[in-house]
Amino acid sequence: MNNSTELAEELRQETVVPATASKVGVASVVLLGLSGQQIIPSALIGAAYMPLESGNGAWLSMLLAMCATLCVMAAVNIFARRYVVTGSMMSYVGLAFGRRLERLVAASYLIGFLVACAAVTASTVMFTSSFLQSIGLEYANEGWFQALSAIAIAALAGSCAWRGLDASISLTAWLAFLSLPLVLIATIASAANTGFDLRSQFALADTDWHSVVRGAIVGLAYFVGVDALASLAAETRNPKKSVPIILNSVLLITGVAYVGILFVCTPMMNAHVAELNEGISPTAIITQVAGMAYLQKPIDLLLIGATFASLVAFLNYGSRVFATAAQNGFLPQIFSRIHPKFGSPTGATVLMAVPAAGVPVALQYLAASPPLQSTAYLSTLYSLFWVGPYIILCVGAIKEVFKETTRAPIQVAVVLIGMIVFLCLFVDSFMSGAEGVMKWLPYIMLALTIAGYIVFNMNEAFTCSRKHKQ
């Protein structure tokens, strides 16, 4: 065995080393996952914009998106029940196919994490500026103020993630759900005023199947990233049993919440399409229809906390994947260092927090892109970075199943469905007919993935060379 292969095998073993001796329970990680998915802000955004795509079929579009993602999670779970790793999909693909595809998935996955954190930072800045302006802070929408806000938000989130998983869960569990009572009150009151009109929704009135399918493709973006919870396996009690439960629980809870709020809000949003097209926020429409306009500001304030909690969650997932990539030789070893007290990947957390602040600031000043526009661009872009790894992972999961003496045809069929759906999404992203910046996002994703692959390849070659000299 040559030195390069020896190092590769050595580094592969390191990916299964727990990041910390402390273990957290299933419920705690599920709460962190729900925070990461921005369950309440995403539910409100989906309630407003999914009906624009699918009309009365919005609930079905979201349900189909959830089912397709559950099929991909079946692929993740095939690996999660067999291996305890800290690199999530990246490690699973490495176990199935070896270093080359692992490196390719790492390039897409890691850059996706950086873009995701930048998107959540921009979203938090958007909510913060909107709220501060609504209470009379005139300069809240000024570029300099939003830039400083992005830096402060990313630095604070990085500090929370650096304090370790326990501290992050304690914080995000509160921030993510503080707005829930007020959102429920306003949503139920508004639905009582407009009516549910379930008959039209079940009959898909004035909706065709093409719209439902297109809506399902849009809906997939609401579930992308759940798989990253697998990176916490080494810090979870009984991980081979717990991780599949965690992944399925987060997906089902978010999916049911999204479908439920669509049933309630679709008739109302159908009646306020003009306002939505003018940029009126869903919280403004819901509170006005409910006759509770006074709740809009408190809800907007609490949604700032919910989006911030998502950033903390993503920094926790991503830092562990980055640390594993450094252990594997794709990144400099400094990013694999673990804090001796908190058990958090210190260097990797800093590495993620810097672009989380820097990308929104750069878009603000170099591209004259305000937080609302930046959020739209970055959210779409980061979803694209997950699609390719999902497809490769599904192939790997099928390969893993065929290693077993007792094969499960249903399991293979489920994974195949997920792979086909995301393959269609990948192709559709290049043929969607989008205009402007949105048209170029798939090509930006490809270019950045190729660049990341080259950088990781060079760093691994350098690491192998240095190891050989030692």
What confidence tier does 470 reach under pLDDT thresholds 50, 70, 90? low
DSSP classification of residue 223: T
pLDDT at residue 388, rounded to an integer: 92
Percent of the chain beyond pLDDT 70?
A: 93
Q: Are 179 and 297 in contact (CB under 8 A)?
A: no
CA 149 – CA 283 distance, rounded (Å): 22
Coil/strand/helix, residue 357: helix
pTM, full prediction:
0.87
Q: What is the mean pLDDT of residues 339-349?
A: 87
Closest CA to 258 of 49, 118, 426, 429: 49
Tokens 């390969």 correspond to what residue? 399
What confidence tier does 10 reach under pLDDT thresholds 50, 70, 90? very low
Q: Name the phi and psi angles at 433, rounded to 5.
A: 80, 15
What confidence tier does 136 reach under pLDDT thresholds 50, 70, 90? confident
Is the predicted pLDDT of residue 4 greater than 60, yes or no?
Answer: no
Strand partners of residue 278? none
Q: Torsion over CA of 293, 294, 296 and 302, rounded to 10 degrees?
A: -160
Over the stretch 241-283, which tens digit does the pLDDT of each residue have? Answer: 999 999 999 999 999 999 999 999 888 888 888 887 776 778 8
Q: Which residue has the higher pLDDT, 9 or 462?
A: 462
Q: Name the phi and psi angles at 236, rounded to 5.
A: -110, 140
